[in-house]
Each structure stands twice: as structure tokens, then as C-alpha cells.
Structure 1
Amino acid sequence: MGTVARNTPAEPTELRVLRQDEWNTWYDNLVNAFGGVPEPPEERELDKRLTECDRSLGVWDGDACVGTAGAFSFRLTVPGGASVPAAGITMVSVAATHRRRGILTSMMRRQLDDVRSWGEPLAVLTASEPVIYGRFGYGIATMKTTAEIDTARVRLSVPPGTDDVRLRFADPAAVRDQCEAVYARKVAGRPGMLARRPGWEDLPLLDPESARQGSSPLQCVLAERHGEVVGYTRYFVKPEWDEQGPKGTVRLRDLEALDPASYAALWRYLCDIDLTGKVAMHNRPVDDAWQHLVSDIRRCAVQQHDSLHVRLVDLGAALEARTYQTPVDVVFEVADAFCPWNEGSWRLTGDAKGASCKRTSEPADLALSVRELGAAYLGGVSLVSLAGAGRVRELRAGALAEASLAFGSTVAPWLPHGF
């Protein structure tokens, strides 16, 4: 009779804050967890510069790193225009050899405890797999639009003043500061946008040759009026030909403008680039105005995908940090098993000028979990819609409509870039 193999208990792992000299090992584990394809050297170097080691965690099995998680120190625009401290959760991975041992849960537990201790009311992330983070209290708060404009068949109708905007080519790196100034002026106007901290201005310029897949180097065009930069676009051109002629693709990276005419001038430029037949975009706001410039939206292949996931870490502080479209006075009964300090009844009163959110013993008007509050927080997901899915319960007649209207936003929330 052969020897019977017996399962032995796994050796204990150690969860600790990342040391600077461990970064390469830590990052290599992250790369392996995402398929093992090395990042271009330029991207790896930028990730290293941006990593905040004192806010990052590693799980170690002896000398081997088997889990990673980071937290950038961001400021996030919320409805009303305030810039609120938020932990940007990033670089989360668990080695395939160490699944189902509670490593992810232990990192999420430590991370949210840390975020609370730092006094940051929000944690935010983008998910490689959306199914993962709901159980930790994250709700999908923003969507992004992907589209592909068929410029051979679609025409743009532009507003008055478009022809007065001057466009010019520029080296992306040479005009980085001018573009960042435009971006900074846009941040307060849309929930979900991030105020870029020093170093993050290099992210939109990242252009490793190995990642171009046949496209041109990154190109940049500025929109100017009276010598002032009032908009910009950065993009790639991927040439392609068949027996009928050219059918290249313009791959949009970003576009920001300070007024409708400058915005339209940049879009018209992109749609008129010689030897191309498509403008492809992978991350635009769901209410982006180009959709009202085009002659035929059906030929633009518009789709939506989840983007920013929001977690209220300090519920009271988070709800007080934003304003509300209409006056609201509502008591929430909140479930939050993962961060129990948020559980219980909270009375929110507020309007367009400010808000107060305090614990209360008053009867609840709405019952929901912290995940639903995270989804509705930036104004892009309605509480009425969540109630339709059975995820919000109305306990006082009229409270749902009141709160849902108040939580809305005049512009759709949007995350302009990943992290």
C-alpha cells in the first residue's frame, strides 16, 4: 500500500508595512499575479516613484512576498466642489500559491483601519474584477464611456466661435505644465476627478514604445485663444490600409477644454485627421458633450463600464464633506459588518450650502448598507435605482425620492485616469 499524502497546516504569514528596499520583490509579486508579463521599464519606474511605501502593505511567507496592497494619498472632488482626502487603493494582489487563506481579507482589514487612523473619510479603487470588492463595502460610483466614432460617416455640428480657436501641435512633455493648468481648472467642476499631486503629471505622458502596438508616439495639440491655452488633446494615430485605401484609427488618451468652442475645435480636429476613419476612446464621462456634436450616435459604438468604486470609511465625515442638490433631512439605518464603527442610525441634514451627519436614536427613514451609500455618494447612481434592485428599503413614505434627488449631481461623476 502506498503512502497517503496528508495536508499540513500552512505556515503563518506576516503582514507588514512595505520597506523601500523590498519594493522590487513586492512589485514582482504584483506582476506575477496579473499574468507575469513584465511592465515596460518606463511604467515600472513611474510606479516606483509614485508608490508611497509607508502607506503600502506586503504579506510575506518567509522571504517570499505573497500579497501586496497600496494606498495613494489623493484628494477627490465630491458634489459641491470640495476636494476630500481619499485613499486610492491600488496594486492589490495575492500570489496564486496562497489563495483561500484570508490574505486579501487581512489586507483589506488592515488597510481600512489605517485609512481611518489617517483621518481620510473615503477609500476608492478601480477593480480588475468588480465582483471582489463589494463584500468589503465598496460600491460602484462612476461609469466610463468607451466609443468609436466612424468619422467616415459621422459629421460634427460645432457651436459658434469654434473657428476662432487656434490649434497647434506641441511636444507633449514641453507643454505639460500648460496642460496641467487646464486640467487643474476642470477638477473642481466634476465629482470623481483627482487633484494631481506632484509626480502624477507624468502619468498622462507615459509612452513606452513597446506598448504602442503599431501606433505613433504620443501626440499633443493645444487649443489657444488670444495666446492663452484653453484646451488640449493627447492621442496616438494607428495607420492602417486595405485594398480600398487608408482606414487608420485615432486613439484618444485625453481631452480637456475650458469652453464649448475650444472643446468642439479639438474634437473636430481629431475627427478630420488625414488617412483615418475612426476615433477610439476608452475613458470619457457618460455625459460627455461630444455625443451632442455628432450627427449619428448609432455609428459611435457607445458602451459603458464600471470605473471608480467608493467606500465610506468615516461615514459621518464623508456625508458632511459634500453638498446636496436639494434640502434633505433623512435618517439612514446603515449596515456595515466590515467597518462596524459605521453601523447604526445616522441623521443627514443638508442642502447646497453644507451638511451635518450625526448619530441619532430617531426612527430610520431608509435602510441600506454602506456599499449603497458609496455607490450613490458622487451623485452618479440614484438611490431610487438601488431601491429597485432591493438594496435600499424605504421605511418612511417619500424619504426615498427626497434623498435620491438630493444625492444627485448636475454633471456625471468621472475618474479621468486609473491608478
Structure 2
Amino acid sequence: MLTGTGGTREKKSSNFHSDLPPPPEQPKQGTFASLRIRNYRLFFSGQVVSNVGTWMNRIAQDWLVFTLTGNNPVALGVAAALQFAPTLFLSLYAGVLADRLDKRKLLILLQSAMAGCAVILGVLDVSGLVQVWHVYVLCLVFGVFVALETPVRQSFTSEMVGVGQISNAVALNSSSFNLARVVGPAVAGLLIIWVGTGVVFLINAATTAAVITGLLMMRPSELHRGPVIARKKGQLREGLRYVRGRADLVAVLTLVFCVSTFGITFFTTLAIMAANVFHKEADGYGLLSTMLAVGTLAGALLAARRSVRGTPRLRMVFGSALVFGVLEIAAGLMPTYTSFAIALIPVGLVLMTFMNTANTTVQLSVDQEMRGRVMGLYMLVFLGGNPIAGPMTGWLADQFGGRSTFLVGGVMSILAALVLGLVLRWRAGLAARRVEARGTV
């Protein structure tokens, strides 16, 4: 494993575009190798069910806000901002908790709290009492639990499968998430028309029981736990110093922030495109989400297959971000609903290639005792831009039309990939010249 101190850090910075070093116990894997591990199999099965409910909830929440505000894109952006704002303040602290506490027990507690939010919103909606400010408050509360839960869940992956299976497990996690993304939005669109958004929220709460059951059935003795990190002052600053000393991690995290904040805004932009550009109802919105999910599922399965070949390359991270930007611009220019929906498939495929490669690169390149804190920072940069992105996309759509959100997101993703890639190449050349100069002295 890489370390963040001394000569190892210097050696890493001199070769940014080479393969990351392989984990010390990398086994030969198949596409579904991690599913041979009982604890992970329980987690994966629960996630498949729970993620379907999560996507149904997402579609229902967006449509409820749209319904309550007369299809106001700014209101949709506000809801997204409130849901993701807690990530700015809590994800780093959640990373410290992940390194310090029992991740499995913490996940059980946080998943239960998230289900409670869905129950409250569902009851308010079914009873006819729901108002837009109720949704805003619950978005904020739910966002607090998500901000704490996500870094813990991300870093828990290595405890379930061991270091050698991280690449495969991360890819399979994405497959589960995106398989649900194919099913959830389409089902939600139909259910919203048949029975209303309130029932969808209650169904989501029920599906959360699946992942909680899986966590309860795990065998703690079979987890690959790292060393216990005792509570002490300065642990958060220690994690930030570790990342600051790794130029490769800084570059990847910066790229993730730029692409996520400006390019991955589909939570709001797809609803805007469906309702305001193509004048569709909830089922039309759900279909767009499903088409995007077909692409992301394909990308996740390809990532699981690629994990057999070893650790990812940094050039894959930057190259996929660049291609994603190009495809997002192309999708935004599509003239009809059908052509736009079809264009979302390759967008989703390349998006998932970028997300999985970036996530795996970060997890494999840090010390185990730092993984929770680094993944807390990763989730901060991945989700922390959403409070900016939500209002920004709403404003862009209101001022320049729904297509503008795709065009701006694509351009920003391309610029970020090019600029950061050139900076890394320049640093690599500079480091190589320094090594050569020392050798000639």
C-alpha cells in the first residue's frame, strides 16, 4: 500500500500516469468474485432491495416538489441543496467516526434513521397535509443522516471483502445501485400516477429493512477490520495533511469535485428536461432516469469485469471525465425526447466508468487506518458541491432553458479534465528532471 510520508510520497509524485501499485494480497478474481464472501453477499442483497426504494423515493420527492410549486425549477434546486448541504459540514467528521467506531453498528443506526424520514414524509403526503416546507425540512434532516452514512458505508466495503477485492466490490456496489436505478424510477413513475407520491415514500421505508437485516445477519468475526484508532485530538487534521501530501490524490479529488458539481446534476436536470423542455408527466421523467441508469448499470458491470485485470490507471480517471463532458454536451443538443433519452445511455456508461475508477483509485492508494477519513473527504468533494449545483441548475434552466444545464456541465467537465491532466503531466516531468539532476551530481 502507498504511504503518505517520506520517500514513498516522493516516489509516487514522480509517476502520476503509471498504474497504482497493486494491493499486497490481490487474488485472481471473477466478475462476481466478492459475492463468494458471505458478509458481502448479505450486504449486496440488502442493497439491491433498498436501492430500488431509494430511487423510487428520489423520483417521488422531485415530483412532489414540482407538483407543490407549479413546476418551479428553482424550488427543485432548493430541495437538492438542502439535502446535500449537510455533506459540507459532516462528511469529514463522519470519516473520523468511521475510523474510530464499529462501522456495522453505525450503519444499522443511520439506515434506521433514514427510513424514519421516509415514513414521516409518506404519512404527511398520504394524509394530504404535506406542504413544500415539510419537504424542505425533511430533505435537510435526511441529508444529515446521508452525510454521516455514506463515508462509513464506503469505507466498510474493505472490511467486508479485504483489500484484494476492493476493486471488484466497489464495481458490484455500483452495479447494485444502478440496477435499482433502472427499475426504481420506472416503477416510481407508474406508482405516482396510480397511487400518488406518499405511497412511494412508505415503500422506500419498507425496503430499507432489507439492508438493515443483512447488516444484522453478518458475522463480525469474518470482517477484515483494521487497527483500532483511539480517540485523540487532531485526527481530522491528520487526515487532511495526509491527503495534502499526496499530489495524485489532490488532483483526483479536485476532478471529482468539478465533474460532480457541474456535470452530475441529473437529480434536478432530468426532471427539468422532462417537464419544461419535452412537456412530459411523471412517467416520462421516470423513463429518462431509467435510460440513464441502463448506461450506468452497463458501466458498472464493465468496471466489475475490468477489476479482474488489476488496479486502475490514472489516465482512465481523466480520460473518462473528458469523454463524459463531450457526451453530456451532445445529449443536451438532442432535438427530441426520444433522441435525448437514447443519448443518456452512453452518458451513463462513461459516467460510471469515471466514478468507479476514481473511487477505486482513492481507496487502493491510502493506508487502511486513514481510509475512513480519506473517504469522508472523497464524499465531501463528490457530494459537497450539490448545494451549489442545485440552485445553479435551477437558475440556469430558468434563465437560459433546460438544455443549458447539460451544456455548462459538459464544458466544465472537459475543462477540469484537461487542466488537471496537464498539471499532473507537468509535475511528473518536473519530478523526473529533479531525479535526473540529482543523479548527475
TM-score by length of 2: 0.24
Work out which structure has the larger RCO, using CA pairs closer than 8 Å and 6 or more positions apart in sequence.
2
Higher Cα Rg, which structure: 1
TM-score by length of 1: 0.25
* Structure whose residues are more often helix by fraction: 2
